[in-house]
Structures are given as C-alpha cells and as structure tokens.
Structure 1
Amino acid sequence: MPEALPQGQASNKPFPVLAKPFSPEDESALREALKRCSPSTFEAAVQFRKTGNPEHVPAVVIGVIERFVEPDLRTKLKDADDDLRLIEDLGIDSLTMMEIVILVEDVLQLSINNDELRNLRTVGDVKTFIDCKIRDLPLPKPTKFLPIEHIGAVMPIQPPFLFLNEASVSSTGANGKYKITGQEFFLQGHFKDNPVMPASIMLEALGQLAVLFLLEGLNLEPGKVVSPNTIFFTGCEGVRAHRMCKPGDILTLSIKPKRMKMPLATFEGAIRVGQEKAAIAEEITLTFGFADALVKPEPEPAVAATPSEKPRSAESGDTPPLQAALGA
C-alpha cells in the first residue's frame, strides 16, 4: 500500500487518466460553478481538468474556501497558511464545510464521503486530504491539537524554559505558537532597556516543537513509545535570523521531518511573526530512543448488589439527588 503524501511534497505517481476531453461546454459549466471565486481559482481548475496535474489543486481548494469565508477573514488565506483552523480562524461551520465540499467535488470531479470530513480541522488538512483523494493515496492520520496543559504534561522541558503555548501535530510535521510576554527571565539582560528575543531561544523553541513531534506524531510499532528521557539536541545547520522579535510578538513555528532513523531525527524549521519571516533552520537534529509502552490495567468489573443489601434511605443522606427529589 502506498504511503500518504506529506503536505507540499510532490509525488512520482502519474497523473490520473482523464475520463474524457475537457470540452468548451465543460469550461462553460466550470466558469458558472466558480463565478463567485477569483479568476486565478478558475484558471487553476481549468488546468487541472485539462491535465490532471495535482499541482493545481491547492490553488483550487484555497480559492473555493475563500469563496465561503467572510470578507474580513479572507486576507488570512492570501499566503495559504496550512495551520489556519477552519472553525476558530476562518469561522467555517459544518454547514459551510458541506457547501465547500460539494463545490470541490463538482469542480475536481471526485467523490467525498461525509465521514471522511470529521478530521479536517485546518486548511492544510483539507489540501492534503484532497491531494490524497486525487492521487488515490491512503489518507493521513488526523491533526492533533494540543493545549498548553497537554504540552506541559508530556514534554521533558518545563517552564520557565518551555516556549510553546499551543501546538498541532500531524503525520507530516508540527506547528506551534509562542507569545513573547516580556516577562521572560532572559529579557532582563538581553538587551539593556531594549528587550529582544535571543535567536538561540528561537532555535530552542523550534527544537522543542521537534521534540513534541517525536512524542506525539511519530508512527511507531505497537507497544513502543519514544522515551522523553532519550531526546537531546545534537546539531543544527543553515540557521538564519531575518527579523528582531520583541515583547508582544506571537511566534508561529513550524517543523517538518527530513530524515528519521533511530537514534537520529532531522527536521527543517521556520518561524514567522504574522506573515513576516523571522528565522529559519535548514536542519535541526535530535537524538532519541524507544521504550516499552505501559500497559494500562483493565478496570475491575462492577460488583452487583446482593439481595441482602438494603437500599439506602433518604434519611441516610446518601440517596442520589434525583431519586430524593422524585420521592419528596
């Protein structure tokens, strides 16, 4: 069985064989279906229908999503940020999602099962899902969204040296955010009267996101887990800082695995502030090891009450509230 296609990665699989030529009537129908979408969306759809080349699909998907998003939120889609959440960031509810799916089915001429939509939570999820459907590849595992409470519970790094406020992890990488509050201890001396986030700390934040991917996103054989006590930084290459980051800035972090063979894992990473590039790392390498997963004991079966046990009365104070109310 072929492997799921990572986001943004081209496949060597041939383009799908088109069932019939793309006629002028087809183009007219396509223009009508996409009449409320941008011209670039229509052109990408035409090229896909003529060639079957999946490289045109992301532009179609983004254009269709943009059609159903409120005008004041459409600017968020201009750079096609795969980490944008459909509900929280774009205000897309389940009914709107169905409208998007119906139009995508019509434009790209594919069929989507409603049950397959349950795990689509980000723009990246939608693009990867459609791409896999077109290429006839197995669908990737759904993205996991991790709040700070979960991150703190699983990470070996802890505050005040934990630089992730939230994160999402999928089979193809991880994304996270960290807000520079200005209260970080190292900003007291970096620099005098001019607090600036150290580039080394930004690199540390990317490394922490890579650690989280190893703990939450790595596909392992049954009964095995990555041990947090075995993950350590070993090296980095191609690090560039492009922007000063100061208190109030929200760092948007992303990492993708490049090579993965125990005991080494290598990632590429990037940090943005809004749409501005802040830092990149061409390679971040960590060492890691496996451990046996803990087997949770099965819960003991509930013991049924014997006939000799007397039911508790309201006078005992132990009667469930609903039962006491009904008996009053």
Structure 2
Amino acid sequence: MTVPYPSPRTALPHSYPFLLIDRILDLDEGKRIVCLKNVTINEEFFQGHFKDNPVMPGSLIIEAMAQTSGLMIVKEKSSMAYLGKIKDAKFRKMVVPGDQLIITSSLIDKFPPFYTFEVIASVGSEIVSEAEIILSLS
C-alpha cells in the first residue's frame, strides 16, 4: 500500500495567500522532492505585476522553491525552517498564468541546522529558474 504524501497545507506553516505549493508529486525522503504550483490569473500578485502583462515575480518563484525544499525536511524540523541563503539564482523564462510550475529540490548538503538544496523550477520541459537554497532550522 502506498502512503500518500503529506499535504503542503498541513505540512508547511504558510497559509493563503503565501502558501505557494499545491501538491507533492514525488518524494524520496531526505534526497529529492518534486512539487506542483498551478499558476492562475486569480493570484493576488498578478493584479499589479504587471497589469497588462502578468508575470509571476521572481521572488515568489524563489519562495516556492524554498517551500518545496522545506517540505523535504518537515519531519526533521524541531520548530521552523527559515530561508538562510540563495546562491546563483537564475531566471531563464517568464512564468505566466496558465503555467504549471514543477519544482524539483535535491538535498546536496546537511550540516544541521543548515540544509543545502539544488532546486530547479520548470514549465513543461523548459527550466524557468534554478538556484541553490540554504534553509536554517531554528
């Protein structure tokens, strides 16, 4: 019997409108996680970014990448995971309403309380963003 993945809604401390992960698609505990973010025109940030050309802000793509990474260590955390550092962030393509953002995070280093992840965000087969993200547990 397959155990269902935890819901981002219950596993993360975020709530609407700042919960940016809709579903966990795949999880190899302690190694890799793949999550989905459906990007819809109803997102509040599209009202002003940009009015006639809606684009998901890069900072929110990074936040979705951090939330995905946090979901991988949710069982290990004693209290909260905080974004500690963003390294080598690259934005290759705009994310727009109607896109399905697939975020893949791989744990590359663990030195508690710090966890380092290599994270890639894609739409279809195209990479739209990538970064190394360090989370700190407190």
Partner of 2:68: 209
SS in 2 for 1:215: coil
Question: Which of 1 and 2 has greater Rg?
Answer: 1
Question: Does residue 154 of structure 1 match 2:4?
Answer: no
Deviations 1:280-326 (Å, cap 9, x if unpaired)?
11x1001014xxxxxxxxxxxxxxxxxxxxxxxxxxxxxxxxxxxxx
2:125 pairs with one of 272, 275, 287: 275
Shift of 1:190: 0.4
Tell me which of 36, 40, 51 is aligned to 1:177: 36
The Cα of 1:145 is off from its aligned counterpart by 4.5
Kept after mapping to 2: 8 A contact 1:145/1:169: no
Runs of 4+ aligned structure 1 residues displaced above 3 Å come to none
- Could you tell me which residue of structure 2 aligns to residue 286 of structure 1? 135
Partner of 2:106: 256
After superposition, what is the alpha-carbon deviation per residue over 1:118-141, rounded to whole angstroms, capped at 9, x for unaligned?
66xxxxxxxxxxxxxxxxxxxxxx
Q: Match for residue 187 of structure 1?
A: 46
Q: What CA deviation, in whole Å up to 9, does each residue of 1:219-243 have, x standing for no partner?
A: xxxxxx413x331111111111111
Give the conservation status (yes or no) of the 8 Å contact 1:175–1:254. Answer: yes
Alpha carbons 1:257, 1:267 under 8 Å: kept: yes
Tell me which protein shows more strand as a share of its residues.
Answer: 2
Corresponding residue to 2:77 among 226, 249, 254: 226
The offset of 1:162, in angstroms, is 0.8
Give the deviation of 1:247 after TM superposition: 0.4
- The 5-angstrom pairing of residues 52-91 of structure 1 reads none
Other structure's SS at 1:192 match: coil
Give the residue type in structure 1 aligned to 2:135. L
1:166 — aligned with what?
23
1:161 maps to a residue whose letter is F
SS for the counterpart of 1:193 is: coil
Equivalent-residue separation in structure 2 for 1:193 and 1:145 (angstroms): 40
Provide the alpha-carbon RMSD of the alignment: 1.6
Which amino acid in structure 2 is aligned with residue 285 of structure 1?
I
Report how many residues are paired: 136
- What TM-score, normalized by structure 1, do the two folds share? 0.40
Higher relative contact order (CA 8 A, sep 6+): 2
Q: Runs of 5+ in structure 1 lacking a partner?
A: 1-117, 120-143, 217-224, 290-328
SS at match of 1:158: coil
Amino acid at match of 2:15: Q
- What TM-score, normalized to structure 2? 0.91
Q: Secondary structure at the match of 1:162?
A: coil
How many Å separate the matches in 1 of 2:111 and 2:14?
A: 23
Aligned counterparts of 2:58 and 2:134: Cα–Cα separation in 1: 17
Residue 243 of structure 1 aligns to a residue whose secondary structure is coil
Q: What letter is aligned with 2:133?
A: I
Structure 2: distance between partners of 1:145 and 1:174: 14
SS in structure 1 at match of 2:73? helix
| Identity score, percent | 30
Counterparts of 1:12-51 in structure 2 under 5 Å? none
Look up the equivalent residue of 2:21 and give its one-letter code.
Answer: L
**Larger helix share, 1 or 2:** 1
